[in-house]
Amino acid sequence: MDNHDKPIGRLRTRREALALLALAGAGALAACTPGATTPTTAGATATVDVPTQTVAGVTAVTPACVVRPEVTEGPYYVDEGLIRADIRADTATGAVKAGTPLKLRFLVSQITADNGCAALPDATVEVWHCDADGVYSDVTDTGFDTTGQDFLRGALVTDANGVATFTTIYPGWYSSRTVHIHFKVRPNANQVLTSQIFFDDALSDVVFEAEPYAGKGQRDTLNSNDSIYEDTLLVAATATADGRYEAIFAIGVDLT
């Protein structure tokens, strides 16, 4: 059964962020690209100019107090206490999961008292996701038992710039769910924010044409009919670089 966290700290809701935008005008921060038009609570639009960072052709807001909805933790979370940047291998056997390489970079920021934005160092970012066959490690489910394995799980502490970068593979899929990566952000020992990262469906279609994904067949769930997918605010900015994919996911944390 899904385990729903009750956060102490929280992410800004869409309504709160838009209210800030209406009050602060171009100085407000929201999930958008520089110069994009964003709707305000009054139905008008405002041009938002924010700093950006480009990594291997991927552009994202940074530092960015970006609106990101929280969604369910799901049934496959396991507290492994495993601190590592490369999460592809099972630590017991050393076996590395096959799949298209993915570099996943989190940019974690804190919403300040004046509704500004500052990089958030020393926050723990934890991720877990399924392999190319749709299998999670260290759980028992219909069709698999991976108890004692810990592939595609790990956590990192953000650096002075609020950055945590994982080396993994592009996640696979399983019936009834679209492609996703689970994550938690812990600003401190007493607070936790839980959500999921999604990917553009057209990108997933390209990835899944190759092995080891192709052998699984046609997936049955897209972002549009996934029961948990919220909206594009949870879709990572992703690009190709040197035969692998790199994704940036900027997230702002409200500790009030």
The three-class DSSP label of residue 252 is: strand
pLDDT at residue 33 is higher than 90: no
The whole-number average pLDDT for the span 217-241 is: 91
pLDDT tens-digit readout, 52-103? 445 445 555 444 577 588 999 999 999 999 999 999 999 999 999 999 999 9
* Weakest-pLDDT range from 99-113, 147-161, 169-183: 99-113
CA distance 177 to 179: 7
Residue-range domain boundaries for the chain: 14-253
CA distance 256 to 243: 42
Contact status, residue 71 vs residue 44, Cβ threshold 8 Å:
no
Residues 6+ apart with CB under 8 A from 50: 29, 32, 34, 61, 64
Top-confidence residue, 130 or 57: 130
Share above pLDDT 90 across residues of the chain, in percent, rounded to a whole number: 62
Q: What is the mean pLDDT of the chain?
A: 79
For residue 69, the model assigns a pLDDT of: 85
Between 1.20.1250.20, 3.40.50.300, 2.60.130.10, 2.40.400.10, what CATH number should domain 14-253 receive?
Answer: 2.60.130.10
For residue 27, the model assigns a pLDDT of: 26
Name the token pair of 99.
Answer: 């799949």
For residue 240, the model assigns a pLDDT of: 84
The three-class DSSP label of residue 143 is: coil
Q: 69 preceded by cis ω (within 30°)?
A: no
The whole-number average pLDDT for the span 234-250 is: 88
pLDDT at residue 46 is higher than 80: no
Q: Which of 176, 179, 165, 86 is nearest to 131 (CA)?
A: 179
> Dihedrals φ, ψ of 80, to 5°?
-85, -20
The three-class DSSP label of residue 125 is: strand
Q: Which of 75, 78, 53 is nearest to 63 (CA)?
A: 53
pLDDT at residue 37 is higher than 70: no
pLDDT at residue 38 is higher than 60: no
